[in-house]
Amino acid sequence: MKKLFFLATLVPALFFSCKDTDKKSGTPPGNDSLPVVQNTDRYYMQYQGTIGDQPATMHVVKFGTTYDVNYTYDNEGQPADLLFQKDSLLQNDSLFFAEYAPRPANQDLEGADAELHLVIRPEGITGLKITGNKQQQQVQLLPVKSGTAFTPAGYIDSIKISGFKKDTPSAFSSLLLLEPATQESWYTALLKKNILAVQKPDSASLETTMTQFGRSFIENFRDDIDTMKAAGDEEEAPVSMMHYDQQISSNLIYNNNGYAVLSVGNYAYTGGAHGMYGQTMICLDMQQKKELALDSVLKIDSATLQPILERHFRGRYKIADGKPLTDILFEDRLALTDNFYFTSRGIGFVYQPYEVAAYAFGLIDVWVPYTDLKPYLQPEFVQRMHL
């Protein structure tokens, strides 16, 4: 999933606008039959095949000339997020992605992340994965006609204000959200409330609401600049801190069996030492047209779940048994969260910066395979997921 502490360095490469209103023709959500891509400049697609000798699934959002991509090895199930950059290995039609890997506490593993050099087309993906130890693995993936059809909805805007001696203040708003190709009203209302902070969602389209959300950000920036001008003192509010930034991105990390799991990243900077970012996971039952709560997937009490999470947290972040969790966390315990996701092999729990650990540790992501949760899985979920 998206590791947004890299996001500020990628603006504006990750996001851009699209006023095109063409939609993919699709089947009703939950019918597990994705349509053929009609607009090759703007689409979501799920691919399956192999990376090296391992079966893998990749989710791609293409929006103009930029890409949002993640993948999972089918035998493991934990998503890996790819950061889109420019390629220098395979020329012209190849895209370069860097894969983020979690760091053990107080350890810098620069150069250990894998690189993927991919040629992405609606009819398939080919390329190379170069591991941290420089081994090359072939990537061969084909589109999958299953899952719910989604399409990107986007908005972009920016402004610069001249007249200052030291700098030119600017603001940038870039918003990208996936929505079902059939534009389901329950889904639109859910994203308006959970992502765009609309308390009473109306009947406006998702893209219309995104436009209003972005324009409000730009207008707030104008107001802040006017206030600074009225004060007449740049030292009180340095212009160098008046480069505002607002970003929302999204992609699916699971899309099968009538379920869809949406990962929504956000980043905002409105002055100060650094921006704030986060990741909201939204688990959706596309057949029953509703959001899934954790108790729809797991029937487990907090006293049982907490030690399971802490054990996997130690493993993921290389904290030995007996050592305090305060090597990373604020407290010597890992609090529970309802910000969860699932794939074919397990369930992940995501904690925002400052929620349980310092900003420098970024998003905390704890992955638990179904094998450790089997006694607690809800029967309907087990049946739908074929576990």
**What are the tens digits of pLDDT across the range 128-175?**
999 888 899 999 999 998 899 999 999 999 999 887 777 888 999 999
Distance CA 370, CA 351 (A): 20
Q: Mean per-residue pLDDT for 189-216?
A: 94
Strands 150-160 and 243-256, bridge-based pairing: unpaired
Would you place residue 20 in the very low, low, confident or very high pLDDT band (cuts 50, 70, 90)? very low
What pTM, to 2 d.p., does this model score?
0.86
Exposure string over 275-312, b if 16+ CB within 10 A, otherwise e: bebbbbbbbbbbbeeeebebeebbebeeeebeebbbeb
In sequence order, the β-bridge partners of residue 279 are: 265
Please report the pLDDT score of residue 165 as a whole number.
75
Would you place residue 19 in the very low, low, confident or very high pLDDT band (cuts 50, 70, 90)? very low
Residue-wise pLDDT tens digits, 283-294: 999 999 999 999
Residue-wise pLDDT tens digits, 44-56: 999 999 999 999 9
Distance CA 223, CA 171 (A): 12
Residue-wise pLDDT tens digits, 240-268: 678 999 999 999 999 999 999 999 999 99
- Whether 21 has a pLDDT exceeding 80, the answer reads no
Please report the pLDDT score of residue 4 as a whole number.
45
